[in-house]
Amino acid sequence: MKTNMENPILSCIIPAPRMVEFAGNDKLRLSALRGIQAECGLERFAVEAKEMLNGFGVNAAPGAQNGLRIGLERGLGPESWRLQVGADGILLQGGDEAGVFYALQALTQVVAAALERGPVAAEIEYGTITDSPRFPWRGFMLDSARHFQSVKTVKRVIRMMAAFRLNVLHWHLTDGQGWRFGTGSVSPETSLNLLSAGTYSREDLLDVAAYAKRHCVSIVPEVDVPGHSRSLLHAYPELACDGANPGSELCIGRAETLPFLKRIYADLMDVFADSRYIHFGGDEASTANWEKCPRCQAAMKAHGFSDLRELENHFMRQLTAFAVENGRTPIIWGTGSKFPENTVIQAWLDIREPHRHIENGCKCIMSVHTSYYFDYPAELSEPHESWMFSLPRESVYMADPYVIWENEWKDRLLGPEACLWTETVPEWRIVQKILPRLRAYAETAWSRPDRKDRHDFLRRSDRLRSAGYEDYLRALV
């Protein structure tokens, strides 16, 4: 049933849900929400709901009768949820715990919008919202190598992601400018940070992993090899082709390089024990030092390869096989080389790239830079590299992960992933680079195309911003 109310509160949610149905013109006053009840096993959501409602000035507490009820409805499906408003209060249901969590995030937006003009006029229309995700992979990549971020800032990014139903943090932990993974084979005592101080201890990494899990976000850790390795070679020049002039590429002809890296990835898998995916990087390696290296040349000939890219591919295949042997799914950045079907390719170069890898049998993640690189400036007045163009919120919103190949890519494209590289982004600019484009990206990742409307998205964005929802998010961690 439709309502004749203008700009109803239940229609302010981002990302846009699959279905919103109104039940006449009646409304529930928020001041009537006194009690919070949760099914056994979901008590933490009752506590979180209380903190959220109390934070907005709504006096509700777990245990009292009538008000907000929280439960599971397995028939909804994974990550799916339902929010129902009626005379007896509000019912939140999820197909699993992630669905319950997302229902609570949606309710938070509804409450913020309802309270835009204060508690006296705060009320929500009777109706039901039913929702489910378009893509299982709704990722965001944070580069902590070029500029280090504190654990608090990483958690803030995770919390903002979770608020908009994004579920994968791809954590870029190493690069030429810094090595932030400080456990086991590469210890915190080893100086690996060339531009700025900062290494995450094992306790830091476990803390972030636990926080992400609580917010229904999976972490995909990345240690990027064999290129982008200048900081590692600064500490371990014996892994370079020429220790006196190590450059940025590991020597892929040295017998000791592969065992060393396997120890690092074993540490990585131990720390991120719940991470199904491990990212190996694998792109943009120069062959200049390999061409002059007698070990690389000998290895190339020993394997019968005609060029060094074949040797590089062989080297990376051994690493990705190591992940598979340990029960993980490997991911690499898109390159011109073929990889086994059990390797996921993250496409970043152009919109045709996923097509090539999908035809080879691999699954893909869509991260094409022209639509999903958040280091590109939202406005050209922001600091940026000279070769970058502007990527405003509207352009992010209009991008579609499938482009035009939905039928061909279905079940092979895991989903999209936006990326924030930090060469020009110090820690204090992280939130500014993410918002407001994160909202636009999230709607592309979650909502079905027939539920997307740019003008309506702008209306919802303006309403949540004017209600102070972004300020609420910034203060959560």
- Write out pLDDT tens, residues 348-403: 999 989 999 999 999 999 999 999 999 999 999 998 999 999 999 999 999 999 99
* Confidence category of residue 182, pLDDT binned at 50, 70, 90: confident
- Closest by Cα among 449, 477, 313 to 16: 449
Residue 19 has pLDDT above 80, yes or no: yes
Torsion angle of the four alpha carbons 22, 28, 29, 32, in this order, in degrees rounded to the nearest 10? -150
* C-alpha to C-alpha distance for 176 and 166, rounded to whole angstroms: 28
Locate the domains of the chain by residue range. 9-132, 139-446
Backbone angles phi, psi at 355, to 5 degrees: -60, -45
Q: At 21, which helix (H) or strand (E)?
A: strand 19-29
pLDDT of 119: 81
Q: At 436, which helix (H) or strand (E)?
A: none
* C-alpha to C-alpha distance for 334 and 135, rounded to whole angstroms: 20
CATH superfamily for domain 139-446: Glycosidases (3.20.20.80)
pLDDT of 139: 98
* C-alpha to C-alpha distance for 405 and 353, rounded to whole angstroms: 12
pTM: 0.96
pLDDT of 5: 62
Tokens of 473: 């998010």
Average pLDDT, the chain: 93
* C-alpha to C-alpha distance for 25 and 181, rounded to whole angstroms: 55
* C-alpha to C-alpha distance for 99 and 79, rounded to whole angstroms: 4
* Confidence category of residue 185, pLDDT binned at 50, 70, 90: low
> Per residue in 438-474, pLDDT tens?
999 999 999 999 999 999 999 999 999 999 999 999 8
Classified by CATH at the fold level, domain 9-132 comes out as Chitobiase; domain 2 (3.30.379)
Q: CB of 171 within 8 A of CB of 222?
A: yes
